[in-house]
Amino acid sequence: MTTQDLQVDDNMVVTLAYKLFLDDDTLIDSSDEYGPLEYLHGYNQIIPGLERAVSGLKKDDRIEVLIPPEDAYGARFEDSFESVPLDVFPDDIELEIGMELELIDSESNEELVAYIYDISDEAVLIDFNHPLAGEDLFFEIRVLDIRPATADELAHGHVHNEDEHKH
């Protein structure tokens, strides 16, 4: 069986070239800029709508697909903002709007991701919504490669890159 015969399915390593646009045709991400996306299919490593859309494709197949918020990053919740006093942040951190913050919930000890929405003289307004929450996402996809995952990749639940992988 050649790689041309393989289809995107669970337990396969898939490499995609992609362009991601918003409804207004704004290009917000592209493999031209960041390199191809390589992931382990069936392991929730990409948004659910995109994973379903590429299932069954073969090497060199191309698709264009619109992914609604419920199959991407979910709805946007206006009550997911919190004002945090500016003096809580260390002085050596240069805060910027859009900056991703990794926070620990003091009650649950759960790691949370938030984004700086606004900065004033007294406080930082952080947003717990994903930046793409509530957005319809339009993808242009080309399947560059498909291969069976190795036993180690399946055991670890992610793709192993020979140059970068360390456990």
33 shares its domain with 51: yes
CATH of the domain at 88: 2.40.10.330
Let me know if residue 2 belongs to a domain. no
Number of domains forming the structure of the chain: 2
Domain that holds residue 112: 81-127
> Helices marked H in the chain — which ranges?
31-34, 48-54, 151-156
**Residue 10: is its pLDDT beyond 60?**
yes
Tell me the average pLDDT across 27-50: 96
Burial class (CB in 10 A: 0-12, 13-18, 19+), 156: middle
pLDDT at 121: 93
Q: Do the domain assignments include residue 25?
A: yes
User: Quick check: 66 pLDDT over 90?
Assistant: yes
pLDDT in tens, 69-124: 999 999 999 999 999 999 989 989 999 999 999 988 888 999 999 999 999 999 99
| Stretch 151-162: mean pLDDT | 89
| Same domain? 65 vs 89 | no
What is the number of other CB atoms lying within 10 angstroms of the CB of residue 137?
22
> Does an H or E element contain 100, and which?
strand 100-104
122 shares its domain with 92: yes
pLDDT of residue 29: 95
Q: Is 8 exposed, middle or buried (0-12, 13-18, 19+ CB in 10 A)?
A: buried
Sequence letter at residue 100: E
60 in the same domain as 111: no
> Predicted confidence band at 59 (pLDDT cuts at 50, 70, 90)?
very high
Position 162 in a domain: no
In a domain, 90, yes or no: yes
| Whether residue 47 is found in the same domain as residue 119 | no
Top mean pLDDT of 49-63, 80-94, 107-121, 153-167 is at 49-63
Same domain, 66 and 21: yes
Q: What is the pLDDT of residue 164?
A: 53
Residue 139 CB neighbour total at 10 angstroms: 21
- CATH at residue 61: 3.10.50.40
Does position 163 have pLDDT exceeding 60, yes or no? no
| 37 in a structural domain | yes
Do 59 and 97 belong together in one domain?
Answer: no
CA dihedral 27, 29, 32, 38 (to 10 degrees): -150
Are 119 and 44 members of one domain?
no
From CA 73, how far away is CA 68, in angstroms rounded?
9
Q: What is the pTM of this model?
A: 0.82
* Token pair listed for 44: 């929730």
Residue 161 falls within a domain, yes or no? no
The answer on 150 and 122 residing in a single domain is no
**Same domain for 139 and 62?**
yes
Confidence class of residue 2 from pLDDT cuts 50, 70 and 90?
Answer: low
pLDDT of residue 5: 84
Residues 67 and 17 in one domain: yes
Amino acid at 12: M
Domain for residue 166, yes or no?
no
The residue-averaged pLDDT of 35-40 equals 96
Residues 6+ apart with CB under 8 A from 71: 47, 48, 49, 50, 52
